[in-house]
């Protein structure tokens, strides 16, 4: 991006946009993604233990979600409504 600096009579400097490239947003996006990837690699090198724990947690949550979706498909909509009603009553009873 090319800009022109204009100084007002009060001494305030303003930048006037002269040209805007259509690829500017893409360049900024690529730069941000490169920076994120760089810091991701730096953090992985610093703490392999945390990385392993994060991967394990994410994989276990993913497995639980897949299992939940399979159970919902197997039970059907009417049975799932009954299960949800039971859980609501059970959780409210505990309060």
C-beta separation of 13 from 7 below 8 A:
yes
Residue-averaged pLDDT of the chain: 82
**Considering only CA atoms, which of 7, 5, 29 is closest in space to residue 18?**
5
Task: Please give the pLDDT value at position 60.
Answer: 92
Span 69-75, mean pLDDT? Answer: 87
Q: Is the pTM value of this prediction over 0.75?
A: no
Q: Which three-class secondary structure state does DSSP give residue 7?
A: strand
Domain boundaries, the chain: 1-46, 48-95
Condensed to tens digits (0 to 9), the pLDDT of residues 23-39 reads 777 788 888 999 999 98
Condensed to tens digits (0 to 9), the pLDDT of residues 39-56 reads 888 877 777 776 778 888
Task: Please give the pLDDT value at position 27.
Answer: 82
Q: Could you tell me the two tokens for 13?
A: 């400097």
């Amino acid at each position: 991006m090319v800009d022109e600096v204009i100084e007002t009579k009060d001494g305030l400097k303003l930048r006037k946009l002269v040209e805007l490239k259509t690829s500017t947003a893409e360049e900024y996006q690529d730069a941000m993604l490169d920076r994120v990837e760089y810091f991701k690699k730096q953090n992985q090198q610093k703490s392999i233990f945390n990385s392993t724990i994060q991967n394990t947690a994410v994989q276990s949550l993913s497995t639980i979600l897949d299992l939940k979706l399979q159970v919902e498909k197997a039970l059907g909509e009417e049975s799932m409504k009954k299960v949800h009603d039971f859980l609501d009553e059970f959780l409210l009873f505990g309060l």
